Structure 1
Amino acid sequence: MDLRQLKFFLEIADCGGFTKAAEKLFIAQSALSTAIKKLEEELGAELFSRQNKRIALTYEGEIFALRAREILKSVDSAGQEIAELKSLIKGEVRVGLTPMLSSFFFPKILAAFKQQYPSLQISVQGDSAWNIQRKIETGEIDMGIIAGEVPDGLDSHHILREEVVACVSRSHPLAGNRKLPRKKLLSQPLLQFKAGYAIREIIDDIARKEGIGTVTAAESNIFSLLKNLAKEELGVAFLLKMAASGTPNEVAVISCDPQIYLNHFIAWKKNTRLSPANRAFVDFLASELDEYYMLKRAAETFPLP
């Protein structure tokens, strides 16, 4: 038995006769009849009843038709998967990244991914987590980094839980503290991200819940500008710890009490099949993050002297 026989059999069943099936398959009717006779001999059962010049499936034929369709569908799926694996030779990864993560977290990951998949193109679009989420939902980008809660319309993989810390000038009166109450930090003039940025939403939400009337000294969507404004003593900037600590001696870093954390996810539209290139990136990112967290835990457990 081979796939060719299964296709012949199903074409006859769908056409309701040998003549029409032979025409659609572009083969002689005698060759088609011979192929089906051989198939019936192999199975030891009649697949078609031939009465009054009419062709119909027997009970055995109906059962076999169901299984034949499943077999051919599985073969098609397997062929598609193999083709997708081959397509990793070429393709494009389109991903949206938030500014701080794209500057301090993703460069090494993107470089390592490119080294493993040198033929794939990487297209990075920088934006706020909120705008990235909107662009995924509208199909402008395939996937991207979002922060906070994952909406119902997206599938996701958790990638990072990072502390949000306060940054002040090294000459600021609060600079000598490693940790301070949120209320004390939020009572200072604030250097804020613009509305729609995840950290801005967190800070505003905490201030609202704790009844703190905040004063915004300046706002921007450029995290490096906010950090430099803090360095120039204009106020307190809240940044991810990796960005605040990424350039030592520029600003003093203070943890909030209780601490503030922000969860990040790689997300894509729900019920949408990722391209092989994008799926390869998600899988690679998950693998790299397992190693990242392992090294991070080791550093926290056995800090350097």
Structure 2
Amino acid sequence: MDIKQLQYFAEVAKQKSFTRAAEVLHVSQPSISKMLKSLETELDVILLDRTERKIELTDAGQLVFEYAQRVLHIMGDLTASIEELRQVERGFVKLGLLPTVGAFLLPAAIAGFKKRYPHIELEMREYSARPLEVQVEQGHIDIGLTVLPVDEGRFEAIPLRSEEMVAIVHQEHWLYGRESVDLKELEDESFVLFTEEYAMHDVVRQACLRAGFEPKVAYMSSLWDFVGEMVAAQMGISLVPRSVAERLNKGRLHVVALSWPPIDWTYALICRKDRYLSHAARAFIGFVREHAYV
């Protein structure tokens, strides 16, 4: 039994005429007769009472007609749903974010996306950089918002926005009032760094190593605000993206640009290279790239 058999039979049952059914289906009447005969043979029942001038359903025919309508309705819904997916009218996207980063980068993009695609659901979870990559690689989330670099052998990376890293210092620090500083000048400073599972930790450490010194770590934290408070309390200095520094700077901190070497902090969306990416997920990536929210 196949869908075409049920479709032909259901149309004959509705029209009570082979001729009118053939016209509706745009097929020949012999094709319909042959299809219905094969259906009756397969089910081993008589579906249509042809003894009268008007075609009537037998009891078996009525039963098959009821089921055929259900099946054809389900198939119609399935076809429409698939088409909606192709047109990105509905779907589900699992998005992983770096803590805090997503909070100030994506709200406007998400709001715009939901307005454009109201039936696509977004599920957002926070991870530090390394666990986020693991989640993407294992397929638990579709897209990750992280910081470059990433392993381009495993991930497709879509760069979004780059910004400079800056130093933040307390009000009584010798750098207070300076507009810029060479990273090498910070060799004797104590640093308040993010914990090792965060991309920020490696970015700062590698930059210091390139400048010729190993940073002296006074404290480590996983919280942006706590890092800022520790710097304000004169426990050390820190290097953070400028957008973060501006959020933390409430009169108690001073922001100093790094004159050399410049340290880029580039946000990117990542997805696994060898994994199917849904229409909804691709629509989200395209929307974020197209609109200058980040």
- Report TM bin, short chain: 0.5 to 0.7
2-structure distance, mates of 1:80, 1:119:
12
Change (3 A) 1:174 1:122: same
Most deviating of 102-111 and 279-288: 102-111
Q: Per the alignment, do residues 159 and 166 of structure 1 end up closer, same or farther by CA in structure 2, a change over 3 Å counting? A: same
Deviation sequence 1:170-201 (CA, Å, 0-9, x none)? 23221211110101234311000111322211
SS in 2 for 1:88: coil
Counterpart selection for 1:264 from 245, 267, 283: 267
Is contact 1:187-1:213 (8 Å) kept? no
CA distance in 1, matches of 2:187, 2:119: 48
1:92 is aligned to 92
Tell me which amino acid in the other structure corresponds to 1:238.
Answer: L
Deviation at 1:246, TM superposition (A): 2.5
Post-superposition CA distance 1:54-83 (Å, at most 9, x none): xxxxxxxxxxxxxxxxxxxxxxxx989734
Aligned to 1:133: 133
Q: How many residues align?
A: 220
Corresponding residue for residue 214 of structure 2: 213
Aligned positions of 1:35-74 closer than 5 A: none
Structure-to-structure mapping, 1:25-174, within 5 angstroms: 82-85=83-86, 88-89=89-90, 91-151=91-151, 152-174=153-175
Change (3 A) 1:196 1:171: same
Question: 2: CA distance between counterparts of 1:158 and 1:218?
Answer: 31
Q: 1:241 is matched by which residue type in structure 2? A: R
Q: Is 1:284–2:287 an aligned residue pair?
A: yes
Distance 1:251 1:104, change over 3 A: farther
Counterpart position of 1:179:
180
What one-letter code is carried by the residue in structure 2 that aligns with 1:253? V
- 2: CA distance between counterparts of 1:228 and 1:186? 22
Match of 2:41 in 1: none
CA shift digits 1:5-47 (9 cap, x unpaired): xxxxxxxxxxxxxxxxx9xx96658xxxxxxxxxxxxxxxxxx
Distance 1:169 1:283, change over 3 A: same
Identical aligned residues as a percent: 22
Q: 1:209 to 1:86 in 2, by over 3 A?
A: closer
Matches within 5 A, 1:5-20: none
3-state secondary structure, aligned to 2:176 = coil
Match of 2:10 in 1: none
Normalising by the residue count of structure 1, what TM-score does the alignment of the two structures yield? 0.65
**Deviation at 1:154?**
1.2
Residues 181 and 277 of structure 1, relative CA distance in 2, 3 Å threshold:
same
Residue aligned with 1:264, SS? strand
1:235 equivalent in structure 2: 236
Residue 164 of structure 1 and its aligned partner are, at CA, apart by 1.2
Asked if the contact 1:223–1:239 (Cα under 8 Å) also holds between the matched residues in 2, the reply is: no
Q: CA deviation at 1:139?
A: 1.4
Which residue of 244, 254, 257 maps to 1:255? 257
Which residue type is aligned with residue 93 of structure 1? V
> Gaps (5+ residues) in structure 1?
5-21, 30-77, 293-305
> 1:269 and 1:213, CA in 2 relative to 1: closer, same or farther beyond 3 A?
closer
User: SS in structure 2 opposite 1:233?
Assistant: coil
User: Displacement of 1:226 after TM fit?
Assistant: 0.5
Cα separation, partners in 2 of 1:250 and 1:117, compared to 1, 3 Å: farther
Superposed CA RMSD in Å reads: 2.6
- Return the alpha-carbon distance in structure 2 between the equivalents of residues 99 and 189 of structure 1: 24
- Provide the C-alpha distance between the structure 2 equivalents of 1:172 and 1:193, rounded to a whole number of angstroms: 21
